[in-house]
Structure 1
Amino acid sequence: MNLKYKKKYNRLKRCVKNCVVENSSVGDVLCFLQAELAAGREERMYLIERLMFHEGLERNPLPRNNFMGDGDEALFKKKIGTRNKSTTLMQKKKNSMFPINLNNLLVHSLGEIIPVNPNFHCAYWIYPVGYVATRIYAHPKDPRKKCVFTCKILNNAGIPQFQIIPDNDLDSVFFGETASACHEGLLKAIQQSLKDSVKLSFDVKGELFFGLSNIKIQSLIKGDPGFKFCANFRGFDIHRETNLFEDQDPSLCFEALQLLINNSLRAKEK
């Protein structure tokens, strides 16, 4: 009997030893992957920042006739297959323009206008479904650090869903049915991170944070075939929410926010 239990004991001992060695190996792999992930995030931050702020980096200037259909071809070729081919070519031509560098904003996809649904446009703004842009701003948990935010407009069962996603903190996603709701959530998180050390007065500017107020983006939206069918849309109001230049607005620009924080701290010390 003792020999039987001894064999079981040795077998269990080997199993435990193998588990310990395996867990140690898995821990080493996880540490390595975490280091690789951190390095990848830093590299991505560097590349995006360089892309946004380096002068003359736009290698795909906007063609003048990006949204003009092939008129002659449409007149002479009535077949559905030809029309589909023309649409595909135009879509490829449209996609080749992206990403578009707009100083502190990088637009990856313009998306598609849904004119039949009034939820995706109002009197002054149009919200294309599938719109994706990235912007550098302050991290919501540490406003002194830069963070790349991905701004998205999605279709949530016929209702627009706006998202602001921090690149290195997927647990802190800001979303809502309006762009301003997302932007307000981000600004509140930044204020909470600063706690009582500094009290900042922010102006919520959701559409500006998403880049929808940019003249180039508005021009591309006007070129979408569904633009003229947006019944409630009256026209982009370029004077709305533009009291400051973007690079001077602390609710949009990282550098302007840091300047505001520093000035507020100095004023508090006095």
Structure 2
Amino acid sequence: MKIPLLSNATQDKRICAFCNGIGDMTTNGPGRLLNLDVGQWCHLNCALWSAEVYETVSGALMLVEQAYKRSINTECASCKQKGASLTCFFQRCPNTYHFPCAVNNGCVFYKNKTIMCPVHASRTTATDQILDDKSVFRKVWINRDEVKQIQNYMTEEHEETSYTLRIGSLVLHNVGQLLPHQLQSAVFHNRNFIYPVGYTITRFYWSMNRPNRRCAYHCTIIDMDNKPMFRIRTQENLDEPAQEFLESTPKAVWHKIVDEIDSLRRRHGLVKMFSIFVSGEDLYGLTEPHIIRLIESLPGVEMLQNYAFKYGRLQLLDMPLTLNPTGCARSEPKLQTHFRRHAQTLTSSHSTRSALPRTVLGVEGTQIPYVKHFVLSKSTQ
């Protein structure tokens, strides 16, 4: 979620995408805010009472995105502002409201999740079905496409005062990129990990100077002499000098920090840290499933020969072309300006023989470059 990184940010400035209300409101009114998308929020009742939305047994609100897209161009019958998503269920009634406007104008809410505007509510006699208390205390959330949300996190521009993606104690700022000559080199990846240049995270971990305190460690991957170097910087207080660690592997650079923390804990008689079990790749976030998916979707990664893909070639991130200083493809070295992804061809059961490699069919011809193949499910296709 996109939240400002301000230590003194006590005022809730989140705005509802439907009613434009600021912050959480009363439970019998719009209710608490739910995360709709990257940097977007909506009140629980604003989403729940929208015409398209329905709730599953587990508490997931479905089709909220469709309701939001419709409300963008829908005017409220009361305040004449856009964002209205609650419609009167009387046949051919054009009235549409924001949730607060519907409550203030006397719209009637029924237990079967239907709404009647003041004009048509007087014609109904089912007074025992009227819902007076619209509070929701059960667990409710908005159902979203996980892959699409991760893609939105990385493709949207963010300010310096906000972070892109947080997973526990890890904050991802930049997923990085590999240039063609780095992809062809075997030093920027191994069988289990890819080390994109420019990859930047912040890890909140134990302090090296003060026991029982945590501080922020800014971790980056840089290119130095055509080799990946792992740099960690930390500064606990503004009046203290920043500390920097630089090594050729994530394990080596993090073990410098972990050893300092272990020595500090020993001096203060605290629980021992078993640094031998600390993984540098884990602390760098390179084992997080969401980050692995993003790295595996970087341009040109499918050219890696000895890397074992965890999720296949999922296209989560579309990045711009690499820099072309001259502006002319002919004047640049070969494969320095553009990557083209291999199309995933769908073959039926009748074309299995034609899809087999030539060596399997007993045909020896020109050498075919090795390409990893992945079997995708029908839902993915």
TM-score interval (norm. to shorter): 0.5 to 0.7
Greater RCO (Cα-Cα under 8 Å, separation 6 or more): 1
Aligned mates of 2:189, 2:201 — CA distance in 1: 18
Deviation readout 1:37-78 (Å, 9 max, x if unpaired)? xxxxxx85667xxxxxxx9595278763998xxxxxxxxxxx
Q: TM-score, normalised by structure 2?
A: 0.38
Q: Who is 1:178 aligned against? A: 249
Q: Who is 1:5 aligned against? A: none
Aligned pair partner of 1:102 in 167, 171, 189: 167
Kindly indicate whether the alpha-carbon contact (under 8 Å) linking 1:140 and 1:193 is maintained by their aligned counterparts in 2.
yes
Q: Compared with structure 1, are the counterparts of its residues 93 and 188 closer, same or farther at alpha carbon in structure 2 (3 Å cutoff)?
A: closer
Alignment of 1:215-254 (within 5 A): 215-236=289-310
Aligned mates of 1:64, 1:155 — CA distance in 2: 30
Deviation readout 1:230-253 (Å, 9 max, x if unpaired)? 22212349xxxxxxxxxxxxxxxx
Q: Who is 1:192 aligned against? A: 263
- The question of 1:152 aligning with 2:220 is answered yes
- Report the AA paired with residue 308 of structure 2: R
Kindly indicate whether the alpha-carbon contact (under 8 Å) linking 1:58 and 1:101 is maintained by their aligned counterparts in 2.
no
Kindly indicate whether the alpha-carbon contact (under 8 Å) linking 2:235 and 2:242 is maintained by their aligned counterparts in 1.
no
1:218, distance to aligned residue in structure 2 (A): 0.9
Q: Who is 1:205 aligned against? A: 279
| RMSD after superposition | 3.4
1:181, distance to aligned residue in structure 2 (A): 0.7
Q: Compared with structure 1, are the counterparts of its residues 236 and 93 closer, same or farther at alpha carbon in structure 2 (3 Å cutoff)?
A: closer
Aligned mates of 2:156, 2:197 — CA distance in 1: 15
1:143, distance to aligned residue in structure 2 (A): 3.1
Aligned mates of 1:191, 1:207 — CA distance in 2: 19
Identity among equivalent positions (%) equals 23
Kindly indicate whether the alpha-carbon contact (under 8 Å) linking 1:139 and 1:166 is maintained by their aligned counterparts in 2.
no
Kindly indicate whether the alpha-carbon contact (under 8 Å) linking 2:228 and 2:248 is maintained by their aligned counterparts in 1.
yes
Structure index of larger Rg: 2
1:185, distance to aligned residue in structure 2 (A): 0.9
Q: Which moved more, 1:56-65 or 1:118-127?
A: 56-65
Aligned mates of 1:208, 1:66 — CA distance in 2: 20
- The question of 1:161 aligning with 2:229 is answered yes
Q: Give the aligned length.
A: 166
1:147, distance to aligned residue in structure 2 (A): 0.4
Deviation readout 1:10-29 (Å, 9 max, x if unpaired)? xxxxxxxxxxxxxxxxxxxx
Q: Who is 2:204 aligned against? A: 136
Q: Secondary structure at the match of 2:262?
A: helix
Q: Secondary structure at the match of 1:107?
A: strand
- The question of 1:64 aligning with 2:138 is answered no
Aligned mates of 1:156, 1:178 — CA distance in 2: 13
Kindly indicate whether the alpha-carbon contact (under 8 Å) linking 1:58 and 1:100 is maintained by their aligned counterparts in 2.
no
Q: Secondary structure at the match of 2:187?
A: helix
- Report the AA paired with residue 189 of structure 1: E
Unaligned runs of 5+ residues in structure 1 are: 1-42, 48-54, 68-91, 238-270
Q: Who is 2:326 aligned against? A: none
Aligned mates of 2:154, 2:274 — CA distance in 1: 43
- The question of 1:111 aligning with 2:184 is answered no
Aligned mates of 2:154, 2:201 — CA distance in 1: 19
Aligned mates of 1:100, 1:93 — CA distance in 2: 8
